[in-house]
A and B are shown apart, each in its own frame.
Chain A
Amino acid sequence: QSVLTQPPSASGTPGQRVTISCSGSSSNVGTKDVYWYQQLPGTAPKLLISRNNQRPSGVPDRFSGSKSGTSASLAISGLRSEDEADYYCATWDDSLRGRVFGGGTKLTVL
């Protein structure tokens, strides 16, 4: 069981906006930068958002990240069928003295 809690699943229809949450504590999300990753079926993960809200080059601006207190969120607007994937948050945890991933959220585009 991860110290970062994500909903196991999320869904939306094409064109919709969906958000995925990542809930932690003061030893991780509350005081550290959060990163988000997309893993398409059968592929290696890909960095989507770094340092809470920074999009690496090449990531569409439909993807955005935010953080408030001990929770972070990934928002995907203008949902597309190719966004169907697993999404993970990650950060550093001071108590564990290590990096941690959330349990992952499987996004289904209906």
Chain B
Amino acid sequence: EVQMVESGGELVQPGGSLRLSCAASGFTLSSFEMNWVRQAPGKGLEWVSYISSSGTTIYYADSVKGRFTISRDNAKNSLYLQMNSLRVEDTALYYCARGWFDSWGLGTLVTVSS
């Protein structure tokens, strides 16, 4: 069974940093493109970042470019999102999603507040 479990979300002050992780199981991570998608409370879905299966191609939404870094460790079946210079508006449930979002984790909550 395909499963993805996100972790690392917590309450952080504006300007702070967090590293999110996504542990994948039930499929070979190295064969798939991966993404981070977020959803602010009561709002719609926002694509955050994409990484190719090999990690050589990466894209970011303009809202996070220069502050967030996506990476992956295929040997550990894991996806990561390093989040720096966090802002109040980054508060959201962060999902990892496979390919064209054909499978999703349950999400991890990031709250940026003083």
Given A44-B95, A44-B107, verify A101-B102 contact (CB < 8 Å): no
Q: How far does the alpha carbon of A35 sit from the alpha carbon of B95 in the complex, in Å?
A: 17
Whether the pair A99, B50 counts as a contact (CB closer than 8 A) is yes
| Interface of B, helix, strand, loop or mixed by DSSP | strand
Whether the pair A44, B104 counts as a contact (CB closer than 8 A) is yes
- Distance (Å) between the CB of B25 and the closest chain A CB? 16
- Distance (Å) between the CB of B44 and the closest chain A CB? 4
Given A44-B95, A96-B62, verify A101-B47 contact (CB < 8 Å): yes
Whether the pair B35, A44 counts as a contact (CB closer than 8 A) is no
B45 within 8 A of A: yes
In the bound complex, residues from chain B placing their C-beta under 8 Å from that of A103 are 44
Number of interface residues of B (CB under 8 A): 21
Q: How far does the alpha carbon of A90 sit from the alpha carbon of B104 in the complex, in Å?
A: 15
Whether the pair A104, B101 counts as a contact (CB closer than 8 A) is no
In the bound complex, residues from chain A placing their C-beta under 8 Å from that of B97 are 45
Which residues, 12 to 55 on B, are CB-close (under 8 Å) to A?
35, 37, 44-47, 50
B105 within 8 A of A: yes
Which residues, 82 to 107 on A, are CB-close (under 8 Å) to B?
86, 88, 90, 96-104
Given A37-B101, A98-B60, A99-B35, verify A44-B47 contact (CB < 8 Å): no
Q: How far does the alpha carbon of A29 sit from the alpha carbon of B11 in the complex, in Å?
A: 37
Whether the pair B101, A47 counts as a contact (CB closer than 8 A) is yes
Given A50-B100, A98-B60, verify A44-B105 contact (CB < 8 Å): yes
Scoring A residues 52 to 65 as 1 if CB is less than 8 Å from chain B, else 0, what string do you get?
00001000000000
Enumerate chain B interface residues (CB-CB to A < 8 A).
35, 37, 44-47, 50, 59-62, 95, 97, 100-107
CB<8 Å pairs between A and B, sample of 5: A44-B107, A45-B45, A45-B104, A90-B47, A99-B59
